[in-house]
Amino acid sequence: MQAGSAGHVLIVDDEAVLAGVVASYLERAGFATTVSGDGLEAVELARRLDPTVIILDLGLPGLDGVEVCRRIRTFSDCYLIMLTARTDEVDVLIGLSVGADDYVTKPFSARELVARVQAMLRRPRGTSGTEALPVRRFGDLEVDASARLARVGGREVELTPTEFDLLSVLSERPRLAMSRRQLLEHIWGESDAGDEHLVDVHIANLRRKLGDDPSRQQYVITVRGVGYRMGAG
């Protein structure tokens, strides 16, 4: 592990040369890095080191990236970026459904990957002042942006960082319908690039966790031809 002040990134990829290049770029940007090529070891490292971000290859031998992600999400809500060489959209959707925040397709630019990590860590993380924000209520749904908590019927809902970021942005201005491109810019830091379908996948995961029936939307409403907004609950 190399020392760094920008955060700690766990890189999980069995391609040692590629992992080393990514680590080198991240260290130059001020990050601490740990590299692993084994899925089981990666789960234990994630538990022990509590990294800020995990970069995880989907195609690991043995314990694959999807299962590694699933296990890590049982104890960690760090940001997680999948690396995939696969062109099958189903593989990406499965990875996102088990808790990955974003994905990058191989081959990729290490410099662009570092920029993606930095953009993630610039996301708003609740109030920057000392005064807590009021809890936002939508029927049975409560969104506590200061504590980064969501509750439905008084029960806390476990959300990934990206799922909560989406809920927080939408609930901040509930009467405003936001396009997928606007949500990408707000949350992923991308205005001219980025996969708008990524937003739809995370919204679907968010609705499922909130118990929001897609056919009778209460909390997150689809605005046809535009994007999404909050509902009354």
38 alpha carbon, distance to own chain's centre: 22
| Spatial contact of 219 and 232, defined as CB atoms under 8 Å apart | no
Q: Which residue has the tokens 């994007």?
A: 227
pLDDT for res 233: 57
pLDDT for res 215: 81
Which of the four pLDDT bands, split at 50, 70 and 90, describes residue 210?
A: very high
Q: Which residue has the tokens 């080393």?
A: 20
**Of the given ranges (30-39, 118-127, 199-208, 216-225), which has the lowest mean pLDDT?**
118-127
According to DSSP, the residues that pair with 149 across neighbouring strands are 144
Q: Which residues contact 73 (CB under 8 A, 6 or more apart)?
A: 80, 98, 99, 160
Q: What is the pLDDT of residues 18-75, one digit of tens each?
A: 999 999 999 999 999 999 999 999 999 999 999 999 999 988 888 999 999 999 999 9
Whether the CA torsion 163, 169, 172, 173 is positive or negative: it is negative
Distance from C-alpha of 172 to C-alpha of 36, rounded to nearest angstrom: 39
Please state the rounded mean pLDDT for residues 155-165. Answer: 91
Which of the four pLDDT bands, split at 50, 70 and 90, describes residue 190?
A: low
User: Would the pLDDT of 102 be above 60?
Assistant: yes
Distance from C-alpha of 23 to C-alpha of 2, rounded to nearest angstrom: 9
Whether the CA torsion 125, 194, 29, 55 is positive or negative: it is positive
Tokens in use for 138? 């939508």
Q: Which residue has the tokens 């990666």?
A: 42
Distance from C-alpha of 131 to C-alpha of 189, rounded to nearest angstrom: 26
| Spatial contact of 233 and 138, defined as CB atoms under 8 Å apart | yes
Scored b (16 or more CB within 10 A) or e, 2-16 reads: eebebbbbbbbbeee
pLDDT for res 130: 47
